[in-house]
């Protein structure tokens, strides 16, 4: 799916970090860090973005991560930061509460690198990947309902919805039906049997991605409520950013990017003609963000050669205005949830 959020020149996860932060230069340029500023890295990982931000004198960074392994691995960078870095185990959807509780709010910048890191993908015991057989887990927080729980307990309809809407898998109904039939005799407890079952059901060419990739993506999103957390984080950043503060979001697949694109379009007033309202038509609320530069920013040839996992990355950036925050957006929340089943198309 993507690169981790680390750096290959420092200790960040109990040893030399093997991961390259995606679009690092572009993200830092988008955030425009300034001396003495206060920034939040909501997907700390191995600390790549935070480390780059800390290169600015007197700047402070609050890092968040759901994964206890990332929190433990942050110790070397924290010790080097001379008190300018604090890392908390938390979901980025809770960024407002954490920033206020720790005294970091208001913020001059927020960055989020959405999705799973390659540190998690590379560890078979976490169950995010089927390259090696491992427990069917996928929990970023290593707590709560696991992928195995969903696969073995959810109804056929719920499974089909997860694969279809979150995984964008056209064969979702067939896959769900087979899982429900097979789990009666033997529950799915590890990644490989599930991947092999899906591989037998989904027609594919040898040159295409593994046929289980989309279904595993759907499961991971469902286990971690990734899209719901993204919507909460966007509204939270809007609430806690100073006027002129920057919000820089890196996404890796269409579901994430669609939500971020819609958020910035709505909040910037893109496509709204305030001077051409029909009689009785309500005046749109003032823009809470101005778009920054050409959108989206994608990886260049040099980065793609160094890190092929950056090929699907998209960076979108907005700058906070002085307009009041609008709060959670019902339309965006609907985009993050499983729609009402139509019973068609799967």
Mean pLDDT of 203-221: 90
In a domain, 33, yes or no: no
Q: Residue 126's pLDDT is what?
A: 54
How far is Cα 84 from Cα 86, in angstroms, rounded to an integer?
7
Q: Residue 8's pLDDT is what?
A: 34
In a domain, 258, yes or no: no
Interaxial angle between packed helices 213-224 and 172-182, expressed in degrees from 0 to 180 and rounded to the nearest 10: 80
How far is Cα 330 from Cα 327, in angstroms, rounded to an integer?
9
In a domain, 255, yes or no: no
Other C-beta atoms closer than 10 Å to the C-beta of 309 total: 18
Q: Residue 9's pLDDT is what?
A: 33
**pLDDT greater at residue 237 or residue 140:** 237
Q: Residue 191 is part of which domain span?
A: 119-225
Sheet bearing 289-291, strands edge to edge: 85-89, 60-65, 38-41, 107-113, 241-251, 314-320, 289-291
Looking at the chain, the whole-number percentage of residues with pLDDT higher than 70 is 85
Say yes or no to pLDDT of 16 above 70. Answer: no
Cα 15 vs. chain centroid, distance in angstroms?
25
Q: Residue 10's pLDDT is what?
A: 34
Q: Residue 275's pLDDT is what?
A: 57
Query: Which of 1-10, 266-275, 311-320 has the least mean pLDDT?
Result: 1-10
Q: Residue 55's pLDDT is what?
A: 97
In a domain, 126, yes or no: yes
> 148 falls in which pLDDT band (50, 70, 90)?
very high
Number of compact structural domains in the chain: 1
In a domain, 166, yes or no: yes
Instruction: Work out the mean pLDDT of the chain and round it to a whole number.
Output: 88
Q: Residue 270's pLDDT is what?
A: 80
Q: Residue 207's pLDDT is what?
A: 78
> 264 falls in which pLDDT band (50, 70, 90)?
very high
Query: Which of 223-237, 263-277, 313-327 has the least mean pLDDT?
Result: 263-277
In a domain, 25, yes or no: no
Tens digit of each residue's pLDDT (9 = 90 or more) over 90-103: 999 999 999 999 99
Coil/strand/helix, residue 89: strand
Q: Residue 89's pLDDT is what?
A: 97
How far is Cα 80 from Cα 190, in angstroms, rounded to an integer?
39
> 345 falls in which pLDDT band (50, 70, 90)?
very low
Are 248 and 163 in contact by the 8 Å Cβ rule? The answer is: no
The CATH number linked to 189 is 1.10.150.170
Say yes or no to pLDDT of 115 above 80. Answer: no
Long-range residue pairs from 49-58, CB within 8 A, at least 24 positions apart, any chain: 49/5, 49/21, 49/24, 49/111, 49/113, 50/77, 50/85, 51/7, 51/10, 51/12, 51/77, 52/21, 52/24, 52/27, 52/28, 53/28, 53/109, 54/81, 54/84, 54/85, 58/84
Name 300's Cβ contacts closer than 8 Å, sequence gap at least 6: none
In a domain, 185, yes or no: yes
In a domain, 312, yes or no: no
**pLDDT greater at residue 118 or residue 93:** 93
């Amino acid at each position: 799916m993507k690169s981790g959020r680390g750096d290959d020149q420092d200790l960040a996860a109990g040893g030399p970090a093997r991961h390259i932060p995606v679009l690092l230069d572009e993200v830092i340029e988008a955030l425009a860090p300034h001396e003495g500023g206060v920034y939040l890295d909501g997907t700390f990982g191995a600390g790549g973005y935070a480390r780059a931000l800390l290169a600015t004198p007197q700047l402070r960074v609050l890092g968040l991560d759901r994964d206890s392994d990332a929190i433990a691995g942050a110790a070397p960078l924290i010790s080097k930061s001379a008190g300018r870095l604090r890392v908390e185990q938390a979901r980025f959807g809770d960024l407002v509460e954490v920033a206020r509780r720790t005294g970091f709010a208001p913020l001059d910048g927020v960055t989020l690198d959405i999705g799973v890191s390659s540190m998690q993908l590379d560890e078979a015991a976490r169950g995010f990947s089927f390259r090696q057989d491992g427990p069917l887990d996928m929990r970023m927080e290593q707590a709560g309902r696991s992928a195995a729980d969903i696969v073995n307990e959810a109804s056929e309809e719920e499974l089909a919805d997860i694969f279809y809407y979150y995984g964008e898998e056209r064969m979702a109904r067939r896959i769900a039906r087979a899982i429900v039939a097979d789990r009666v005799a033997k529950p799915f407890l590890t990644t490989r049997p599930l991947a092999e079952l899906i591989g037998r059901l989904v027609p594919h060419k040898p040159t295409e991605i593994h046929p289980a990739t989309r279904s595993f993506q759907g499961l991971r999103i469902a286990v971690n409520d990734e899209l719901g957390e993204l919507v909460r984080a966007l509204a939270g950043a809007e609430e806690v950013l100073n006027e002129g503060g920057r919000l820089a979001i890196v996404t890796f697949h269409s579901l994430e990017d669609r939500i971020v694109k819609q958020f910035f379009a709505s909040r910037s007033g893109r496509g709204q003609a305030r001077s051409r309202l029909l009689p009785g038509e309500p005046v749109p609320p003032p823009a809470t963000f101005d778009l920054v530069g050409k959108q989206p920013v994608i990886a260049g040839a040099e980065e793609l050669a160094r890190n092929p996992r950056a090929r699907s990355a998209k960076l979108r950036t907005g700058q906070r205005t002085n307009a009041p925050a609008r709060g959670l957006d019902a339309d965006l929340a609907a985009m993050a949830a499983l729609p009402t089943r139509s019973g068609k198309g799967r």
